[in-house]
Structure 1
């Protein structure tokens, strides 16, 4: 997975009037120093710069900067992507993916999804079958990293490999599994 360095700037406005002194403003904005933002002096994740200028909001504002990517925090490093396990996926994830990929529109009902869920197949394995049939490589990679098993079969006796939309997807699944081992 490639990481792309990004910087995000957020500006917060407050309707609370500020003093003309910077001490009052700094005191007010010191509450913004949270673990999420990190320590403003070390700039570990992000930082806030309170400003005392009065703007269109007729109040005070602060500008927060967050760094993502190589020198900041990427999704994997933040524990968002790539750190899930089998047990982090549930029935709701299956339904959301079913809807997101437009499978409900194609199928017309939830019957196919419910049939898979009622077979005592773990949700992460069901998601892998769906992602393979939709040729969704990023989702396949995420699920295999989480421990999905591509050999699990549905009621028709078909595994994720057999449901794969193309030979390229089959090779991707097998290649990723070999690479992981």
Structure 2
């Protein structure tokens, strides 16, 4: 298995995809992002026992701007109960400096700030479906691997018929679903 003890951070889109996928109790997720949703669900369910899925302060700020109260509540509950919300790094000046340096290569300042936060907070892997962000950070993000959920799932190299590391509640409808199993 790909690394066992580390932090895996999600961007706000990956967080939404994970919530959507694991909310698909009796049916596989749908839509044009279905492969990414399934990969993120598998990464979460089959993750190493010491792996922590987390979000940075900027991701929390991004999802806090969701206008739908139902979606906002889903994100807040998921973040509270299933993820670790990383605290703002104490070296704010360093974060700003690094964010500005990264922004010379990528236009979304929030994306750059998330990468800077990941580097400062010792995050090993940052998952994003944003291809432009992944491409621009390939050589720039020196302390964190920036990849998609699908890339991370492939890197995990989970053998077929492996048992998930997350033990589902016996009453969880996902127990009867097959779309997430390998």
Q: Which is greater in Rg?
A: 1
Q: Which structure shows the higher strand fraction?
A: 1
User: What TM-score results when the alignment is normalised by the length of structure 1?
Assistant: 0.29
User: What TM-score results when the alignment is normalised by the length of structure 2?
Assistant: 0.29
Q: Which structure shows the higher helix fraction?
A: 2
